[in-house]
Amino acid sequence: MSYVEEVYAGLEAKHPNESEFLEAAKRVLDSLEPIVSAHEEKYRSTALLERLVEPERIITFRVPWVDDQGKPQVNLGYRVQFNSAIGPYKGGLRFHPSVNQSILKFLGFEQIFKNSLTGLPIGGGKGGSDFDPKGKSDAEVMRFCQSFMTELCKYIGKDTDVPAGDIGVGGREIGYLYGQYKRITGLYEGVLTGKGLTFGGSLARTEATGYGLVYITNEVVKGAGRDLKGKTIVVSGSGNVAQYAIQKAEQLGAKCVTCSDSNGYVYDPDGIKLDVVFDIKQGHRGRIREYVEKVPTAQYFEGQKPWSVPCDIALPCATQNEINGEDARTLIKNGCWCVCEGANMPSDADAIDEYEKAREEKGFLFMPAKAANAGGVAVSALEMSQNSERLSWSFDEVDHKLEDIMKDIYSKVSTAAKTYGHEGDFVVGANIAGFQKVAEAMSAQGLV
Ligand code: NDP
């Protein structure tokens, strides 16, 4: 049994009920095999992998709050502080009924490598609650956030753990959480990111994930000797990531012909008109089907995903598991030669197998979410820097730093893949490149 297999077997025996976490750990550990076997003695002698797969600590707490009917409610709150070898824990808070310890461990584990890839000093963490903000009044959400922070504030701080938003935690929730942190601790410090611009938020944070996705896509395409200009792109989603991916792709001369929401997708052969999408989504939180009322030459497909539309490049920017094996085969059959992931985990395991086959057969390009959507957390880290300096950088300053970070991620990922004998395999490259820095820091800091 190899060292990687031994560590995974130990993990399975210790946490048999954590299926999401086990799956993520297995995928990452398997892809680390080339670097681990090259340094096996050193890693074994310091139990490096055994330490890497266990969180430094997990905090679990109850969150009591009172609903609008005056009835007490109790939710569960968590913070998984996974790895602080390269910086304070950093990762989002998710409020969703599906939240449990296994899912947060899976997300926190992935976050370690994503954060490391940004080159910025941020460790990995994740947290949240099984609270569902959907259908709750603003007052209920505020009372919940205040109760959640009353406990969480004991464990976080600008130099220890800096949470951000995630599913169910947007600007409103970050505002309430920040207000309560400040009230209890008396500290006006950058303890959360994704804050409003009037209280320490960063310019270009809104655009960061979508822009970053296109910056790295541009590098991937150039690395294969091609040009983004004139290429046809299929985008899914029409939320934050999708909107700004479309904007940047158009600025770089590509044409995005689709976008979608959970009801269906729009196909505009002349290129998606972003002002119309902004008007629908940011203006009145409408449905994407309204697009065809304003652009009659476009078509709307109810209940369908956009993966059958012929394209050069696909940028999934909606949700997890939105591309399955069959969707991937359809994309590739219709001429798609590159997928870069804006959403988290949009391609399921079968889809990734299809990309892998196509990579071996004809050089198909696939950049996984861990690297491709790291622009969001990178600008969150830049928000931390601005808060520490008590300065606000200009939009262009942040945007240029973001572009440099994404170029650097591409370079690290492709170099790591090549160095360890997997040239062009960006899944292996992203895991190894993210792992390298964390492993070096963990080794240097001794058995902690
Ligand atoms: P938004 O909520 O702004 O947008 C999500 C979009 O995806 C909406 O258009 C939504 O449609 C659509 N969508 C949601 N569920 C489904 C579904 N089951 N089928 C089809 N479409 C669906 O989220 P973001 O744009 O911020 O995030 C998108 C993805 O990117 C997520 O996976 C997120 O985790 C990831 N991500 C986001 C970052 C960020 O900075 N925002 C950073 C890193 C990753 P509808 O309106 O109908 O729900």
Question: What does the pLDDT look like over 144-159, one tens digit per residue?
Answer: 999 999 999 999 999 9
Residue 126 falls in the annotated catalytic set: yes
Name every residue whose Cβ is closer than 8 Å to that of residue 34 and which is 6 or more positions away in sequence.
Answer: 420, 421, 422, 428, 432
Tell me, what's the pLDDT at 285? 85
Tokens of 202: 């960063």
Average pLDDT, rounded, for the chain? 97
Band the pLDDT of 141: cuts 50, 70, 90. very high
Percent of the chain with pLDDT over 90: 98
Tell me, what's the pLDDT at 82? 98
Establish whether residue 210 lines the binding site of ligand 1, counting it when its CB lies within 6 angstroms of any ligand atom: no
**pLDDT of 211 above 90:** yes
Question: How confident is the model over 253-275, as a mean pLDDT?
Answer: 98
**pLDDT of 75 above 90:** yes
Band the pLDDT of 93: cuts 50, 70, 90. very high
Band the pLDDT of 191: cuts 50, 70, 90. very high
Tell me, what's the pLDDT at 149? 98
Give the three-state DSSP class for 182: helix
Give the three-state DSSP class for 365: strand
Tell me, what's the pLDDT at 56? 98
Establish whether residue 392 lines the binding site of ligand 1, counting it when its CB lies within 6 angstroms of any ligand atom: no
Tell me, what's the pLDDT at 228? 98
For ligand 1, atom 21, which residue shows the shortest CA distance?
262
Establish whether residue 306 lines the binding site of ligand 1, counting it when its CB lies within 6 angstroms of any ligand atom: no
Name every residue whose Cβ is closer than 8 Å to that of residue 251 and which is 6 or more positions away in sequence.
Answer: none
Which one of the listed residues 90, 105, 114, 126 is annotated catalytic? Answer: 126
Tokens of 48: 């490096």
Distance CA 178, CA 189 (A): 9
* Dist. CA 238 → ligand 1 center (Å): 8
pLDDT digits over 376-407, tens only? 999 999 999 999 999 999 999 999 999 999 99
Distance CA 85, CA 439 (A): 8
Question: How confident is the model over 293-313, as a mean pLDDT?
Answer: 98
| Cβ atoms 317, 241 nearer than 8 A | yes
Give the three-state DSSP class for 120: coil
The amino acid at 446:
G
Atom of ligand 1 nearest to the CA of 238: 9
Band the pLDDT of 178: cuts 50, 70, 90. very high
* Dist. CA 236 → ligand 1 center (Å): 9
Q: Which residues pair with 301 in a beta bridge?
A: 265
**pLDDT of 284 above 90:** no
